[in-house]
Amino acid sequence: MKRLIQNSILAVLAALLVTGALWARSKSRGEVCTAVNVQVVNADSTSFVTPEGILSDLKSQGIKLEGKRMGDINASDVEEALRLSPYLENADIVKCQDGRLLIRVYQLVPVLRVFDGDDSYYVNRMGKRMAASSFYHCDVPVVQGHFTKKYPPTRLLPLIDYVEGDSLLRSLVTMYCVRDTNNIILVPQFSGHVVNIGNADGFENKFDKLKLFYREVMPKKGWNTYDTISVKWNHQIVATRRVKAVQQIIEYDPDDDEQAPDIETMTMGSAAEANKEQDKKPAAAGEAAKAEQKATNDDKQNDKSKKNN
């Protein structure tokens, strides 16, 4: 008897719970969306996504939320529309009981910046691209090259992550140039040469060889001896000698406009001035002689005129 009473109570509570849920759901579906709140979950000082921008994007796609019945709002469709934005990685929608609609978005997190001809774009870890803009800058590794669906820029991520995780390599590499899948070029901080690591496979061994070359060979041969160091082949390093000397760039200092002449310039200048002075002396002597002769002739002419008188 006691067990029967307990089971009856549980059945009544379950029925009330189901009835309440159905009533709440029905009421919720009939409610009107009174406000739309947008939250950028991963916002920081470099954020380029704003709540106003999200609402403007939805409006431009013809998606109206505020003033619409909650039951007529398809959350999945709105989430999918937001995920198509090049500036977002993900989006979630929550329908609140007080008539509010909460939209939580996650802005794209770049891991690379790619320069492809005149185009420039950022890439996240999933390979999603976002066009670069002068209004936003993110300090991420720079890659130059043309990529396709078969060979996306994310193919380089294991290699770049390895470089970024090594303090020496991170301070060495300024950018990556992808000529083709078998010729990935690293551009070091200091001018003089580049490093060809071949494809993106087996890079740990390649960087070990490069460090050995830097440690054992470059200090003896000189840092401007080679223009290309290739570690793309197994068990060997191929360094190509430079044909022309590296051009030394001298920065112009506006505070030191007149540069002191070198010793050769000073010698040539002094000699030239001396020659000019020597050329002037005979000319001056000749002019003086002519003046003296003219004065003598004038005196003789005056004496002759007096005698005749």
Q: Which of 96, 91, 153, 151 is nearest to 119 (CA)?
A: 153
CA dist 197 → 13, 24, 118, 185, 222 (Å)? 70, 63, 26, 6, 21
* CA separation for the pair 180, 161 (Å, rounded): 20
> Which residues belong to CATH 3.40.50.11690 in the chain?
112-241
Q: What's phi and psi for 103, nearest 5 deg?
A: -110, 120
Residue type at 249 in one-letter notation: I
Q: Which of 131, 200, 137, 204 is nearest to 169 (CA)?
A: 204
Strand partners, 239: 229
> Which residues belong to CATH 3.10.20.310 in the chain?
28-107
The class of domain 112-241 in CATH terms is: alpha beta
pLDDT tens-digit profile, the chain (309 residues):
666 666 666 665 665 564 555 444 544 556 899 999 999 998 887 788 999 999 999 989 999 888 899 889 899 999 999 999 999 999 999 998 888 999 999 999 999 999 999 999 999 999 999 999 888 888 999 999 999 999 999 999 999 999 999 999 999 999 999 999 999 999 998 778 999 999 999 999 999 999 999 999 989 888 888 999 999 988 889 998 887 554 444 343 444 433 433 333 333 333 444 444 445 444 444 554 555 555 555 555 555 554 454
Select 28-107's CATH number: 2.60.120.10, 3.20.20.370, 1.10.8.870, 3.10.20.310.
3.10.20.310
Q: Which of 113, 114, 155 is nearest to 137 (CA)?
A: 113
Describe the crossing of helices 51-60 and 75-83 by its angle, rounded to 10 degrees.
Answer: 110
